[in-house]
Amino acid sequence: MDVTHDPATLSWVESANDPATDFSIQNLPFGRFRRNALEPWQIGVAIGDQVLDLHAVGLIDHLDMQRLMAAPVTERRALRLSLWEGLRAGSALQKVWSQALLRQSEVEMGLPCEVGDYTDFYTGIHHATTVGKLFRPDNPLLPNYKWVPIGYHGRASSIGASGQQFHRPQGQTLKPGAAVPDFGPSARIDYELEIGAWVAGGNGLGEPVAMAQAEDYIFGLTLLNDWSARDVQAWEYQPLGPFLAKNFATTVSPWMVTLDALAPFRADFERPAHDPQPMAYLDSAHNRAAGALDVQLEVWLQTPAMLAAGNPGQRLSTSNMRDAYWTLAQLLTHHTVNGCNLRSGDILGTGTLSGPAPEQGGSLLELTQGGKMPLTLANGETRTFLQDGDTVILRGYCTRAGVRRIGFGECRGTLLAAR
């Protein structure tokens, strides 16, 4: 932690001083915006309800987010300090910088950066256990789960920014009792509550990243919704895992919250004594002392009926990133241990982050026990899986006594009818 985390610091941008804002001066997340569809994406930082144009104030001389993310961690921290100094109350830069502010509500937010590759992990042990019990009641976790971070290669081209709309996908499914598969629109569209970690810089091919350096290769975090077609998934996933059930859409929030901003919300990472402890290449003193992050997560659902009634939606569940079975450093280190080269702009998904209680499921698959126990919403509607027109909103934030609140903004996506 450093001076940028001082909870007493206020900004001359008044909206950043609201205790409820996601984007106080202690946060300063990075994203891309544009005023209209004819101009290129600009690099900005969120401050209150505003966005600061970094190119306009001379803090960068380019519009390449991947290039900014690839800068050494010392330069990235220096940029954060410059932003903090320029935006704090009493700054001599207020008059000049105020000309480079735009309301977030008046600009279009895009993907935080162009996505290179996308790997999705399976770090949520409560999710893995609950889902495993649906198929293997006596043996929910496979033998490798507590030894190796499980992951698969996702589809980067269908990742979209918050506000993404997508059509109900079609595919093959095997209906209960049927001898041959059917083809048509998926009837079991689901969401998955995840965090996305954006890679900074990268490692050379054949050059593993050790635990001691792993976090230097993570630029920041966003919320991530890994939409899933559960009926397609059940038919196709053996023996090679997810394919069409996962590649039709993934939604991320537009602001990358840096690990530096999250420093006050570090937590110890400790395995239960009866579980296998991480292998040496996945272990470090720093990871044990502060490898976990205390990020509170929420899932909200707004149905078309709620939208028509002016209802902002209903919260379905809450959980916390701290319950993840593997840390971000472990994910990145394991990803590169075989010599795999990560690149600036790659994204690593955590997998569904559910809590230990049944009502803390990070997907409808868990909350409805595979569709067997429909959810009754406050307005009388019911859901087993998502219906056309449903909007899912993910939210994430960090709170702690004596520290300013840090938020991620919204990750919002809407399911449309099949084409």
**Are residues 278 and 216 part of one domain?**
yes
Give the mean pLDDT of 148-169. 97
**Are residues 145 and 19 part of one domain?**
no
Picking from 109, 128, 150, the residue at the C-terminal end of a domain is 109
> According to the annotation, is 352 in a ligand binding site?
yes
**Are residues 62 and 191 part of one domain?**
no
**Are residues 324 and 179 part of one domain?**
yes
CB 12 within 8 A of CB 91: yes
Tokens 């932003």 correspond to 83
> Quick one: which of 2, 1, 52, 3 has its CA closest to 23?
52
> According to the annotation, is 226 in a ligand binding site?
yes
CB 225 within 8 A of CB 251: yes
Does 127 participate in catalysis according to the annotation? yes
**Are residues 104 and 228 part of one domain?**
no
DSSP annotation string for 241-282: --STTTTT-EEE-S-BEETTTTGGGEE-----TTSPPPPGGG
Confidence of residue 37 (pLDDT cuts 50, 70, 90): very high
Picking from 66, 83, 109, the residue at the C-terminal end of a domain is 109
Confidence of residue 138 (pLDDT cuts 50, 70, 90): confident
> According to the annotation, is 410 in a ligand binding site?
no
> According to the annotation, is 172 in a ligand binding site?
no
**Are residues 406 and 353 part of one domain?**
yes
Quote the mean pLDDT of the chain: 97
> According to the annotation, is 390 in a ligand binding site?
no
CA distance 112 to 253: 8
Picking from 48, 79, 109, the residue at the C-terminal end of a domain is 109
For residue 15, which phi and psi values (nearest 5 degrees)? -65, -20
For residue 57, which phi and psi values (nearest 5 degrees)? -95, 5
pLDDT at residue 74 in the model: 96
Confidence of residue 139 (pLDDT cuts 50, 70, 90): confident
DSSP annotation string for 204-239: -TT-PPPHHHHGGGEEEEEEEE--EEHHHHHHH-TT
Q: Residue 343: which residues within 8 A CB-CB, separation 6 or more?
A: 116, 117, 199, 202
Round to the nearest angstrom and report the end-to-end CA distance of the chain.
50
> Quick one: which of 331, 254, 249 has its CA closest to 287?
331
Give the mean pLDDT of 225-241. 94
Domain count, the chain: 2
CATH of the domain at 103: 2.30.30.230
CA distance 73 to 413: 32
CA 324 to chain centre: 13
pLDDT at residue 353 in the model: 98
**Are residues 271 and 245 part of one domain?**
yes
> Quick one: which of 278, 258, 279 has its CA closest to 269?
278
Do the strands 193-199 and 266-267 form a parallel or antiparallel pair, or are they unpaired? Answer: unpaired
> According to the annotation, is 215 in a ligand binding site?
no
Tens-place pLDDT, residues 273-327: 999 999 999 999 999 999 999 999 999 999 999 999 999 999 999 999 999 999 9
Decide if pLDDT at 99 tops 90. yes
The percent of residues in the chain predicted with pLDDT above 90, rounded, is: 97
**Are residues 104 and 123 part of one domain?**
no
CA distance 189 to 388: 9
**Are residues 319 and 408 part of one domain?**
yes
Tokens 């997998």 correspond to 351
> Quick one: which of 4, 45, 20, 10 has its CA closest to 395?
20
CB 257 within 8 A of CB 220: yes
CA distance 295 to 253: 15
Tens-place pLDDT, residues 328-368: 999 999 999 999 999 999 999 999 999 999 999 999 999 99
Decide if pLDDT at 208 tops 90. yes
> According to the annotation, is 136 in a ligand binding site?
yes
pLDDT at residue 419 in the model: 95
Give bridge partners of residue 410 from the DSSP assignment: 395
CA distance 54 to 384: 45
The catalytically annotated residue of 127, 274, 286, 335 is: 127
Give the mean pLDDT of 73-90. 97
pLDDT at residue 136 in the model: 87
Report helix, strand and coil shares of the chain as percent, to nearest 5.
25, 30, 50
The domain in which residue 197 lies consists of 118-416
Tens-place pLDDT, residues 20-36: 999 999 999 999 999 99
**Are residues 287 and 160 part of one domain?**
yes
CA distance 104 to 396: 18
Residue 409 Rama label (left phi>0; alpha psi -120 to 50; beta): left
**Are residues 84 and 132 part of one domain?**
no
CATH of the domain at 343: 3.90.850.10
**Are residues 224 and 102 part of one domain?**
no
